[in-house]
Structure 1
Amino acid sequence: MPLTDTKLRTLAPQEKPYRMADGGGLFIQVAPTGSRLWRMAYRFDGRQKLLSFGAYPVVTLARARELRAEAKTLLAEGIDPSAHAKAEKAARAAVNEHTFAKIAAELIEKQRKEEKAETTIKKKEWLLEMATAAFGDRPITAITAAEILEPLRDVEAKGNYETAKRLRSTVGQVFRYAIATARAENDPTYGLRGALITPKVSHMAAVTDWKGFGDLVRAIWSYEGGSPSTRAALKLMALLYTRPGELRLALWEEFDLERSVWTIPAARTKMRREHQKPLPPLAVDILQALKKETGSNYRAFPSSIARDKPISENTLNQALRRMGFDKHEHTSHGFRASASSLLNESGRWNADAIEAELGHVGADEVRRAYQRSLYWDERVKMANWWTKAIRSQLSAKVRI
C-alpha cells in the first residue's frame, strides 16, 4: 500500500531498523535513532542494487516519487541510476570543488612531499599566483585557452617574455596533474605554444679564456670584503664549479674531508640525483679553514645577517661586482661555463668525464651508472689538474 504524509509523520523508531514500502522499489528506512531515509531497490545487469534519495522530510514524499520515476526512465534507457548519480556528483564537484587554485595548491603540496627543491617550489608558487589571480576560482574543466592567454599577455606586455613562457608551462603542469587525477580531460595550454613571443636565449655571463680567468681568480683570492662564508664560497666556486645553489645551501654533514668527497643530495641537484664531487687538497684546506669560522652552524655557508639562513646568490654576485666584474662579464653561475670551456679546450679530458663532473647526465640510466664508475678516477685527476691550473694563474704574492 502506497505511503502517505500522515503515515510518514507517525513512523516511530524501533529497536531495530525497519522499512515501509511505497511501491516500485521505493521505500523509507527508519533507523533506531529516528532518522528516515529514502531508498530505492532495483536490479541492473542481473545485480540487486540500492539508490539513496536523501532524508525525509527534507526530501518529501512527492519528491521521492519524482526521483523514482527519473530512475525508472534511466533504467529503461539502459543506464544504471547509481552510476548516473555518481557522475552528476562528480560534475558538481568539478564546478564547486575542483578549481584551478585548489588543484594548483595540491600539486605544490605533492612536490613538497616529493622533496623537490624549495627554491623551485617558491618560483612555481610565484608564477601560479599570477594565474590564480586571473582564474583561480574557476572550475578547471571550464577554463579555456583564451582565459589563460590573458594573464600571459599581461606579463608579455611588460617585456617579461621568459616569465610568460614559464607561466604557461607551470599552468600546464597543473592541468596535466588534474588529468592524471581524473579531474580534467585536456590541457588548454598546449594550443598556446605558438602564441607567445619567443624569448631571446641569453647565457650566463662567464669568463672563458685563461687570461680573463686568471684575472678573476687573482681578484677572488685577493678579495678581503664580505664574510668568511662569501670569500670561501667564491674560491670554491672557482675550484669546484658547481651550481651556486648546490654550494650555498651545503651542510657540513655533506662533506667528508678525510675522504675528500662532497656528496650533494638529490633534492638540491638540478637532475634530482645525488651527485658526488672529488675535493682537491686546496678545496679541503679552504673548507677546514672555513669550519673554524662556521663549524658551530649546521650550514657550511651561513649568512652573516641571519645565521639560520645561507648566503644568497646575490651576495656572491655583488662580491664579483665589487671586484670589478659587471654582470655582463661574469656571474656566480658563470664558473661552470668557465670550467667547461677551459677543460674541453685543454684536450686532456674525456668530454663525458667533464659532463659527469658538471653533473650533466643523459637520459639513459645505464650510461649514467657507467659514467659514475668509469670516470671517477679521471675526475679526481681532473680536479687536481684544474687546481694546479688555478694556482699557476695566481700571483706568487697572493696567499692561497
Structure 2
Amino acid sequence: MALTDTAIKKLKPSDKCTATRPDKYSDMNGLQLWVRYTGVKSWVVAYRYQGKQQNISLGLYPFISLADARNETTKIRNDLAQGINPKDERQKAKQKDNLDFDHFAQIWFEHQQTRIKPHTFKRDKGVYYNHIKPLLGDKDIYTVRLPDIMAVHDRLALQGKTSTAHKVIADIGRIYDHAIIKGLAPNLANPIPRGIHKSLVEHKSKHYPRIKITELPKLLTDIDTSNSEPLTKFGFYVLCYTFVRTKELLGMTWQELDFDNCLWNIPANRMKNGLPHVVPLAPPVIEILQTIKSWHLHDEFVFFSNRGKDNVLSSNAFTVALKRMGYKDKMTGHGFRGLASTSLYEMQYNPQAIELQLSHVQGSKTVRAYNSANLLPARIKMVNDWANVVNEVKQGDFSTYKAKSTADGNEMAFISFLQSLRYKEQEIQDELDIHRMERLEVLAG
C-alpha cells in the first residue's frame, strides 16, 4: 500500500524498533521509509543487482519529501533497466561533487547525529536545509568567502530572525572546523574570523511577560471563572505551584510521579538541560493530580488530550485561555516561573534552592549532584511555603508574603539571577524598579 504524507507524519517507533532494527514501511518500486528508535525517518530504496540485494539511502524525511523520494526511485529504476548499478552512478556523482559545501555539511551531520538529541538534530537539519544549503550547498568549499556566509546571516537578520542568523554563522563555522580537524580537505581555512559575533546584529533575548504578585488574586479568579476546560485550569495551578516549564508539565506521565514521597521525577530526555530533575509536590498539587487520576483519562499521560499533539494538551491551550481572559502580552504559562522565582527571592529563600527548582544548571556535575541531594529538604519546604502563599494571596491575604519580604528583597541575589538569564543592564534595572514598586504596593496595602 502506497504511503501518504499524512500517514508518514503519524508514524512513531514501534515496541519492536531497536537501534539495529528500524521499522520499515514500503511505498512502491522498492522505496521504503525506515523509522529508527530515535524517531528519525529516512528514505531507502531496496533493489537487486546481478542477483544481490542492495540498498541506497536517499536522505531524511521531511527534508526529502515523499514526492522527491519517488522521483529518485524512478531514476534508480531507470538505471537498473539499462543494466547500471545505481550505487556506481551515485559514487561517480559523489567523486565529482565531493568539494561542494553540502558534501562536508552532510559529513558533519553524520557526526552530529549520534552526539545530540534527536529533536536538536532535526532542528539543526531544518536550519541547514532552509537557510544555508540554498545559498552555499553547491559552492566549492574552498571558494566560499565571508561575504557569501554573511549573505545567509543578513537575509535572516533583515527578517528579524536574529537568533537563527547567529546560529547559521555558528553552524557554518562548525562544518569548516570539522572538515579541517578530520583532514577532509587539505589546506582548508575557516573563512569566519574569531570574535565575529561581536560584529553581528544584536540578538535580543525573549523574556516572557508575567503579572506582578499583586495581580495574582485576579488571575486565579479569572482562571476559576473562565470557560476553559477543567484540565487546562488544573494545568495553570500546577504551573503556579511548581513553576516548571510548560513543556515539562504537558509531558508529565503517571510513571514519573511518586505519590508516597510527593515527588515528580522528570527524566533527562524531557529536560531542556538534558539532566534529570526532581520536583517536590506541595499538598494542593497532589490533590489536583489525584483528582485527574480519578477521571481515568489515560494510562500514560496526566494532561491527556485526544486533540493535541502526542496525545497531550497543546501549549497553545494556555496561551489561548490567557488571551481570552484578557492577558495577551501580560502573562504566559512560562510567566509563572518568573512570578514564583522573583517572589521567592524577595522572601529571602536560598538562591541555590530557587535555581535548582527552576532546573537551571549551576557548577560542575559533582556540585550539581551534591546540591540536588542536600538541598531537596530545603526545596520541599520552599514549595510547600510557596503553595501556602499562593493560597493566601488568592484570598487577598499578603501577610505571609509581607512578613518574609525585606526592604531590599534580596536584591543582590536577584540581580545575579537576572544576569544568569542574560538580561542586559537596562533590563535588570527595569526589573528591579518593577519589583521595588511591587513590594511597596504590597507592604502599603
Contact 1:115 1:267 in 2 (8 A): no
For residues 324 and 256 of structure 2, what CA distance do their matches in structure 1 show?
30
Shift of 1:321: 1.1
For residues 95 and 381 of structure 1, what CA distance do their matches in structure 2 show?
66
For residues 372 and 204 of structure 2, what CA distance do their matches in structure 1 show?
35
Corresponding letter in the other structure for 2:123: K
Structure-2 change in CA distance of 1:288 and 1:109 (3 Å): farther
Query: CA offsets per residue over residues 76-117 of structure 1, 9 Å max, x none?
Result: xxxxxxxxxxxxxxxx97873465445545655665545626
Corresponding letter in the other structure for 1:377: P
Q: How does 1:202-281 map to 2 (within 5 A)?
A: 202-207=206-211, 209-226=212-229, 228-281=230-283
Structure-2 change in CA distance of 1:180 and 1:282 (3 Å): farther
Contact 2:252 2:301 in 1 (8 A): yes
Query: CA offsets per residue over residues 309-343 of structure 1, 9 Å max, x none?
Result: 3323222211111122112x111211111111000
**Residue identity (%):** 27
Corresponding letter in the other structure for 1:354: I
Structure-2 change in CA distance of 1:201 and 1:115 (3 Å): closer
Query: CA offsets per residue over residues 316-374 of structure 1, 9 Å max, x none?
Result: 211111122112x1112111111110000011x21111111111122322221221122
Corresponding letter in the other structure for 1:356: L
Q: Which has the bigger relative contact order, CA under 8 A and spacing at least 6?
A: 1
For residues 117 and 206 of structure 2, what CA distance do their matches in structure 1 show?
26
Shift of 1:230: 2.4
Larger radius of gyration: 1
Partner-residue secondary structure (3-state), 2:311: coil
Partner of 2:147: 146
Structure-2 change in CA distance of 1:375 and 1:150 (3 Å): same
Query: CA offsets per residue over residues 276-326 of structure 1, 9 Å max, x none?
Result: 111111111112222334642422223341474332322221111112211
For residues 299 and 182 of structure 1, what CA distance do their matches in structure 2 show?
48
Partner-residue secondary structure (3-state), 2:388: helix
> What TM-score, normalized to structure 1?
0.67
- Show structure 2 runs of 5+ residues with no match: 1-92, 397-445
Structure-2 change in CA distance of 1:181 and 1:272 (3 Å): farther
Partner of 2:339: 338
Q: How does 1:371-386 map to 2 (within 5 A)?
A: 371-386=371-386
Structure-2 change in CA distance of 1:232 and 1:93 (3 Å): same
Partner of 1:391: 391
Structure-2 change in CA distance of 1:136 and 1:354 (3 Å): same
For residues 261 and 275 of structure 2, what CA distance do their matches in structure 1 show?
21
Shift of 1:210: 2.0
Matched positions, count: 300
Shift of 1:139: 4.7
Partner of 1:283: 285
Partner of 1:169: 170
- Show structure 1 runs of 5+ residues with no match: 1-91
In the alignment, structure 1 residue 197 sits paired with structure 2 residue 201: yes
For residues 118 and 239 of structure 2, what CA distance do their matches in structure 1 show?
20
Partner-residue secondary structure (3-state), 2:375: helix
Corresponding letter in the other structure for 1:263: N
> What TM-score, normalized to structure 2?
0.60
Q: How does 1:69-80 map to 2 (within 5 A)?
A: none
